[in-house]
A and B are shown apart, each in its own frame.
Chain A
Amino acid sequence: MSQNRSSANPRTIREVVFVDGVRTPFGRAGEKGIYAGTRADDLVVKCIRELMRRNPSVPADRIDEVAIAATTQTGDQGLTIGRTAALLAGLPRTVPGFAIDRMCAGAMTAVTTTASGIGFGAYDVVIAGGVEHMGNHPMGAGADPNPRFLSERIVDPAALNMGNTAENLHDRFPAITKDRADAYAVASQDKLAAAYGRGQIQPDLVPVATMKPGRGWTVNTVDEPPRPGTSLEDLAALRTPFRAHGRVTAGNAAGLNDGATAALLASADAAAELGLPVKMRLVSYAFAGVEPEVMGIGPVPATEKALKNAGLGIDDIGLFEINEAFAVQVLSFLDHFGIADEDPRVNRYGGAIAVGHPLASSGVRLMNQLARQFEEDPSVRYGLTTMCIGLGMGATVIWENPHHADYGSVDTAESAATTETGAAA
C-alpha cells in the first residue's frame, strides 16, 4: 500500500452546518391515524422534495448523500430507504443513499454520520433524516432476539419493552414520582399548544396529501397526536399498562406514531458557496451505552461525553431539546444536571409526549426546533439535542447558534479541545 496516500493531501477538519430541516406532521399509528394507508417511503419523499423546494440554490446533483433512518427496515421502510427515497423524490440517479438504524436515534445518527463525512471531506451537501410508520411497523415487529440474551442474562428480556425500562427508571430514582412525571407531561402539552399558537411549529411542516376510502383526498398540515388541554386529573385516570400500580402511562410517555423528517447539512464552505442559510453549527456529538434495563438514562453519559468533546460545561448550554420518550427519562436527565423540571431552557415547544415520537424520525425534529429557538433567541450560544435509545444508549449533539454575537469567534475551551483532539489523532 502506498505510504503517501493520505499524506499527499494533509487533512483538515471542515465545519458542518445545519442548513434546514422539515418534517411531516406526525400521525397517530393505527387504522384511524392520518397515515393509515400511506407509505412510509412516501412520507420521506415529501420531506426531501420540500427541502429541495425551500433551498432552490442547491443544485440537486450537488447532494452527495441521502441517509434515511428507519428502525424496522422491511416493507415500505425496506430496500435501502435512503436510496429509494432519493429516487422516488426525483433526485438525480447520481445521488447515492443508504439506510441507517439506531432505533430512536436513527435520524440523529443519520445527521452525525453524514456530518462526519462532511467533516472528513467526503461530502459537501447531504440530506439526513428518518422515518417510522409505527402503524405499518409495530415496534420490534419481525425482530428475533438472540436466545443468549436470556440464557446468559446479557439483557433482561423485560428491557426489550421500553415501557418496562421506564418503570425501572422510576425504581432507580424514587424522587421521580408519578405526580412529577404527569406534571411534566401536562406542561409538555401546554408548551406545544402555545408554540402552535405562536406559529413556531408550522413553518417546518410539510403538507402531506392522503386519500382514505370513502373520504377522498385530504391534506394534513398539523400534528395529530397532541391533546391540548390535558389536565393532571385526566392523566391520573389513565392506567399503567406496564406494571400494576406503576407510574408510566400513555399520558406521560410518547405515543405510537407515524412520521418522517429530513435535514439539509453542508460544509460551511459549501453553504457559503451556494448561498445557503446557516441555522446551526455542529459543535460535537457523542453516543453512549448504558444498562439496557434503564435505557432512559442514556442521554446523561452521552451528554457528558459530548460536552467533554466540545470542551463545554452543562452551564454553557442555553437550550435543551430532549426527546420525551418518557417523562421519567427527561426528569432523570434534569435531576442529574441539577436543572428544574420547568426550566425554560428545556423543550420550549413541548416535546414528544405531546407531538409524538415516530422512532427513527425524531432526531431531526429536535434539531428543527432548536434551530428555530436559536433564531428567536440570539442570546443563546449553545444548545443541545439529546435522546435515549432502546437497548440502553443515549445520543447527544451540541450545536452553536449562528445568531449569537460571538458566533465564529474561537472559544478558548473549545479550541483547546480541538487542539487536544488533533494531537490525539
Chain B
Amino acid sequence: MSAADFRKLADLFPNETVTHSYVQDLALPAVDGKSPGIFALVTLDNGLDHSKPTTLGPATLVELGTVLEGLKERAARGEIVGVGVTGKPHFLVAGADLSTVKSLSGREHGLWMAQLGHEAYSALANLGVPSFAFINGLALGGGLEIALQSTYRTVSTGAGALALPEAFIGLIPGWGGVYILPRLIGPENAVKVMIENPLSNNRTLTGPQAYQLGVADALFEPADFVEQSLAWASKVIAGAVTPERPNAVDPSAPEVAERWAGAVAAGRAFVEAKTSNASPAPAKVLDVLEANRTISQAESAELECETLADLMQTDEFRSTVYAFLDLVQRRSKRPAGAPDRKLARPVTKIGVVGAGLMASQLALLFARQLKVPVVMTDIDQARVDKGVAYVHAEVERLLEKKRITADAANRTRALVTGSVSKEAFADADFVIEAVFEELSVKKQVFKEVEAIVSPDCILATNTSSLSVTAMAEGLAHPERLVGFHFFNPVAVMPLLEIVRAPKTEDAVLATAFELAKGLKKSAVLVKDAPAFVVNRILLRLMGEVTAAFDEGTPAEVADNALREMGLPMTPFTLGAMVGLPVAQHVQESLHAAFGDRFPVSRNLQTLIDNGVKSIWAPAPGADGKPSVPAETLALLSFGTSPSTGEEVLRRTQDALAEEIALMLDEGVVAGPEDIDLCMILGAGWPMFLGGITPYLDRVGASERVNGRKFLAAGVASAPA
C-alpha cells in the first residue's frame, strides 16, 4: 500500500486547497565540530497568507505520504540522517479539511480518508532515520498527530493552539493520536487533552503547556525557532542529547494498567456530566483508548480507521462542522442582513439609563471593550453610587486576577461615572436603557432622554420581552431606536440580538453592529417580534415540559425527557437559574402574543406566589438524585394525563419545529442558520445538534410538523 493508491479519493475533490510538502536538504549544524549529516526538512505550505490555515485534504495527504516515501528511500541509500516537518508561519497544520470530510459520501470514502492519513503518517515513524516535528504554530487534530507520529518534537513558545479537538468535532483522534498520546504523556493527561479540553469550550494548549505535559521534547522561542530546532535535532541525531520523557508510560506495566482504567473511567464520567452522552464521539474516543492499551499500534490503527469511518457518517459530526465552521466561524462574522458598515457612526460616549445590576454590567462591558466614557444615571444618588461601586469592584477583581494591568484598571474606572441627572447624556452618541421591564417606564425614560440628547444620538433598549416598535411610538425620532439584547452574564455570553423595529434606520443598525463587534459579541439581526429568538425558543421548550409536568408527568420524567439533546441544563434547572418570576413574565408576554402555544402554568405562578425558587430541592436527595420537596408538591395540582419521557421529547421536538417554522415565516431572522447561531451562542446549545434545526431535521420533527426539512441535504447532514 502506498499513499499514491489513494489518488482516487483525491480525485473526488478537485477543488481542495492543497497544502504542499516542500523538501529542503540542510546540512545539520556541527556537534563537537562535526555535522551529523544531511537533514531533509519538509515544510507544509498552501502558499496562502496566515488568514488561510493549512489543512489536510486527500490530495495533501497523498503528496505528504509520497514525499515521505521518497525520503525513506533516500534514508535507505544513506543520503539523509533525519527528517523534519514544520509549517508555514503560525501553523504546523490546522488539521483535517473538515469541509471535505463532511462531504465524503458513503462509509467507504470515509474509511479511505482514515486509512490515507495512517498511510501518510506511518511513514514518519518508519523512515529508517529519526523524524522530528518542529511545531512552529497552530497544530490541531491531524496537525498535531503529524507531530505525535514523529520520533521527536520541538514546540515554539509562540505556537498558538495545540489540541486534539476531535471529541468536540464529532470524531476521534484516529490518525494515531489516541494511541500515541497516552503512552507519551500518561493516560490521565491524554484524557485531559482528548476529552476534557475539547468538551470545555474546545480549550487548547499553548506551546509551553504542551511542553510541560510532555507533548513536545524541547521548547524554543519563535524568533529563531527553526534554527534552534534544527540545532537541537542535530544534537539528538549525534547522540549528544537524549530527550527525557518523565510522563511517558509503559502500558504493559500493571500500575499503568490501573491508571489507564482510572483515566478512562474519569473520562466517561466527565463526558456524561458534560454531554449526557448525547453525541457518540467522546465515548468512542474512550472506547478506543481503553482498547488500545493491550494491542499493537497497527491493530489500533485498524480500529481507529473503522471508528472514524463510522463517525464520519454521523449527523452529529456533520452538524458540528456546520455549527462550528459555517456558523460560528463564518456566518457570525458576516451577520445576515446587517447594513453596510460604512454607514456606522462613531460612538465616543455612552449613556446607560439605570444603575442596577444589568446596567452596571453593561457599563463595565462598554468601558472595558470600547474604552469610551460611560455614564450611568438613576433616580437617586445612592443607586448611582451603588452602580459605580459595582463597576469599580469588578475592575478590582479583574486586577487581582491579573486579567488587566493597573493602568487599564485606572483607565476603566475613570471611564465609568454616575449621575442623578440625565443631563449627563447631553454629549452621548448612544444611550441604552436597562430599567424595569415595563413599557410605560421605558417610554417615559426615552422621552426624558430624547429631550436632552442630540438629534442623532442612538437610543437602545435591552428589553427581552417588550415590543421595540411600541417603545418607539411617541419618540420624536423613532428611527433612532434599536433593540440591543444581551444574554446573562453579559461579560460571558457571546450573543447579541440586534432588533430592528419598522422605523429603525440603516445608519443606526450599522452602528449597533459595529458596537457589537467592538464589544467582541456576535450579533444576529432580528425583527421586532415577541422575545426575539433565544427566549422564544427556550420558553416554548420550557412551556412544553412544564405543561407535561402540570398534566401529571412526574418531575424526573418531564425534566429528563430531553436528555438525548445534551442541552447544557434541564428545563427546570434553567427556570430556576433564570428566576421563575422572570421566566413567567416573559412567558406571559409570549402568551399574550401567541396564545396557547405558550401556556402560562398556574403551578409555576403558585410557586412564585409562595416564594419557591425552584421545583427541585436545592440539594439532591439521599439517593443522590434531585427531588421535589414535599412542601413544594403540596402547593401544586396536577392533571391526570401523564406522559412518558418519549412523549415529552417528541412533543417538545414538534413544538420547536412548529415555532421555528413560524418564526421563519414571520421573518424574525434571515434563515434557519441564524436560529441555530442564536441557540449556540445565546443558550449554549450543543454543536452536535447543529444549534437546533439540524437536530429537528434529523429526528423527523421538521417533516412531521412542517412537511419539509429546514436545511438542504448536505448542509448539516449526509450529502444528497
Contacts and interface: CB of A to CB of B under 8 A. Distances in A.
B546 interface: no
A209 B134 CA distance: 13
B127 interface: no
A218 B22 CA distance: 10
B26 A218 contact: yes
Nearest to A48: B223
B227 A211 contact: no
Given A88-B223, A207-B227, A208-B227, A214 B47 contact: yes
A216 B23 CA distance: 7
Interface in A42-66: 42, 45-46, 49-50
A217 B25 CA distance: 10
Given A207-B29, A207-B227, A213 B24 contact: no
Contacts of A206: 227
B664 interface: no
A74 interface: no
Contact of B43 (A49, A50, A88, A211): A211
Contacts of B42: 216
B47 A207 contact: no
A171 B41 CA distance: 52
A211 B223 contact: no
B314 to A, nearest CB: 37
Given A216-B42, A216-B45, A45 B223 contact: yes
A331 to B, nearest CB: 37
B497 to A, nearest CB: 43
A221 B27 contact: yes
Contacts of A217: 24, 41, 43, 86, 226
B221 interface: yes
Contacts of B88: 211
Interface in A186-223: 206-209, 211, 213-219, 221
Nearest to B157: A90
A410 B462 CA distance: 84
A211 B89 contact: yes
Nearest to A207: B227
Contacts of B666: none
Contact of B226 (A89, A209, A214): A209
A219 B25 CA distance: 9
Contacts of A211: 43, 45, 88-89
B230 interface: yes
B41 A46 contact: no
Contact of A215 (B22, B29, B221): B22
Contact of A218 (B20, B24, B47): B24
B224 interface: yes
Interface in B38-57: 41-43, 45, 47
A219 B47 contact: no
Contacts of B23: 216
A218 B39 CA distance: 11
B22 A214 contact: yes
A216 B41 contact: yes
Given A216-B43, A218-B41, A221-B27, A209 B22 contact: no
A367 B476 CA distance: 78
A50 B228 CA distance: 10
B87 to A, nearest CB: 9
B47 A213 contact: yes
Nearest to B89: A211
Contacts of A46: 223-224, 227
B227 A90 contact: no
Nearest to B42: A216
Contacts of B43: 211, 215-217
A206 B29 CA distance: 11
Residue among B22, B26, B42, B227 with the highest chain A CB neighbour number at 10 A: B227
Interface in A225-267: none
Contacts of B29: 207, 221
A216 B231 CA distance: 18
A208 B228 CA distance: 10
Contacts of A216: 22-24, 41-43, 45
Contacts of B47: 213-214
A89 B223 contact: yes
Contacts of A213: 45, 47
Contacts of A221: 27, 29
A125 to B, nearest CB: 21
Nearest to B33: A199
Nearest to B30: A202
Nearest to B222: A90
Contacts of B86: 217
B227 to A, nearest CB: 5
A209 B86 CA distance: 12
B399 to A, nearest CB: 21
Residue among A49, A215, A217 with the highest chain B CB neighbour number at 10 A: A217
B27 A90 contact: no
A207 B223 contact: no
Contact of A219 (B22, B26, B221, B223): B26
Interface in A318-366: none
A42 B223 CA distance: 8
Contacts of A42: 223
A208 B23 CA distance: 17
Nearest to B88: A211
Contacts of B230: 207, 209, 219
Nearest to A213: B47
A89 B42 CA distance: 26
B498 to A, nearest CB: 40
B434 to A, nearest CB: 41
A215 to B, nearest CB: 6
A309 to B, nearest CB: 39
Nearest to A199: B33
B233 to A, nearest CB: 11
Nearest to A203: B30
Contacts of B27: 221
A219 B226 contact: yes
Given A217-B43, A217-B86, A90 B24 contact: no
Residue among B20, B86, B226 with the highest chain A CB neighbour number at 10 A: B226
Contacts of A89: 223
Interface in B9-34: 20, 22-24, 26-27, 29
Nearest to B87: A217
Residue among A89, A219, A221 with the highest chain B CB neighbour number at 10 A: A219
A95 B128 CA distance: 47
Contact of A90 (B22, B221, B225, B226): B221
A361 B313 CA distance: 61
Contacts of B224: 45-46, 49-50, 209
Contacts of A214: 20, 22, 45, 47
Contacts of B223: 42, 45-46, 49, 88-90
A191 B221 CA distance: 37
Nearest to A209: B226
A219 B45 contact: no
A151 B20 CA distance: 58
Contacts of A207: 29, 227, 230-231
A402 to B, nearest CB: 24
Interface of A: 42, 45-46, 49-50, 88-90, 206-209, 211, 213-219, 221
24 contacts: A45-B224, A46-B227, A49-B224, A206-B227, A207-B230, A209-B230, A211-B45, A211-B88, A213-B45, A215-B24, A215-B43, A216-B23, A216-B41, A216-B43, A216-B45, A217-B24, A217-B43, A217-B86, A217-B226, A218-B24, A218-B41, A219-B26, A219-B41, A219-B230
Q: Considering the complex of A and B, which 5 residue pairs feature the smallest CB-CB distances, nearest first?
A: A216-B43, A216-B22, A209-B226, A218-B24, A207-B227
Given A209-B225, A211-B45, 16 more contacts: A42-B223, A50-B224, A88-B223, A90-B223, A207-B231, A209-B226, A209-B227, A211-B88, A213-B45, A214-B47, A216-B22, A216-B24, A216-B41, A217-B226, A219-B226, A221-B29
